[in-house]
Amino acid sequence: MPEAATAVKTVELKILRYRPASDERPAFGSFKVPYTEDMSVLEALQTIKDTLDGTLSFRWSCRMAVCGSCGMMINGKPQLACNTLLRNLPPGPVTIEPLNNFPIERDLVVSVGDFVKKIESIYPYIIPKEPKTVAEGPYLQTPAQLAAYESFSDCINCMLCYAACPQFGENPNFIGPGAMALLQRYNGDSRDGGQQKRLDTIHGEDGVWSCTAVGYCSEVCPKQVDPANAVNQNKTNSAFDFFLRFLRPGGAR
């Protein structure tokens, strides 16, 4: 059999490496791994870690685009590594970097502490309008009431929208698209009574009005949550709440 017919097909991955304790600055490393038609970027990274360089660091968990852990920049676009097949990428080396707009902890691992604080700031839980005992039964909801917020509940906190957001890149204090999608998930829930508390968190200069309406956040979302739509709804609700303040006793001050 000719040698060419038995040659193993490979793919080259150019990966940004960075160990803050020892590296002065990030630098790319190149790896070639055996290629198969059904291989994802995450599988290629795991092959490198298992067989070529055990020090390579990246996050992953479910491998099914559910946990949101393996977000990274793949050929310059925020994507989930487990959900990105090599066969769907252009020919040539695949460039892999940590998510944009986040501090690098090590290699492809970024710091998520500030993102978690943003999520926590919008009260990400149901605040019942009227507390009920177990004996009084469940909080009921119609299919139409569920549909009002259901798409926003699909967010997996992968942070791809933050890596895609130019405003967050310029201003890390900006609350960002992911937090506003989650805010709309709860504010749109007919069982919830915490709308005012959440709106108060996004009126300021780092809130919803900082969004410049680029819309790239929705393009990269792997779950079609459409955070840009959530931002627009939050802008409408914020403006409406502002004008309502003039009609309340005491008016705006």
pLDDT in tens, 99-146: 999 999 999 999 999 999 999 999 999 999 888 899 999 999 999 999
**What's the predicted TM-score (pTM) here?**
0.90
pLDDT at position 251 is 57
Architecture of domain 113-244: Orthogonal Bundle (1.10)
Which tokens in the block code for residue 133?
């005992």
Q: What is the mean pLDDT of residues 71-91?
A: 97
Fold of 3-110: Ubiquitin-like (UB roll) (3.10.20)
CA distance 86 to 119: 32
Q: How far is CA 174 from CA 69, 95, 218, in A?
A: 22, 28, 17
Give the H or E element holding residue 216. helix 216-220
pLDDT band at residue 249 using 50, 70 and 90 as cut-offs: low
| Structural contact between residues 187 and 198, judged by C-beta atoms closer than 8 angstroms | yes
Using DSSP, state whether 16 is helix, strand or coil. Answer: strand
Q: What is the pLDDT of residues 208-219, one digit of tens each?
A: 999 999 999 999
Are the folds of 3-110 and 113-244 the same? Answer: no
Q: How many residues does the chain have?
A: 253
φ, ψ for residue 136 (rounded to 5)? -80, -5
| Structural contact between residues 126 and 189, judged by C-beta atoms closer than 8 angstroms | yes
- Using alpha carbons, select from 187, 118, 211, 190 the residue that is nearest to residue 157: 118
| Structural contact between residues 34 and 48, judged by C-beta atoms closer than 8 angstroms | no
Domain boundaries, the chain: 3-110, 113-244
Q: Is the pLDDT of residue 47 over 60?
A: yes
Give the gyration radius of the chain's Cα atoms.
22
Cα 31 off chain centre by: 27
CB count in 10 Å sphere of residue 137? 8
End-to-end, the C-alpha distance of the chain in Å comes to 85
Q: What is the pLDDT of residues 152-189, one digit of tens each?
A: 999 999 999 999 999 999 999 999 999 999 999 999 99
Q: Which residues contact 26 (CB under 8 A, 6 or more apart)?
A: 16, 17, 18, 104
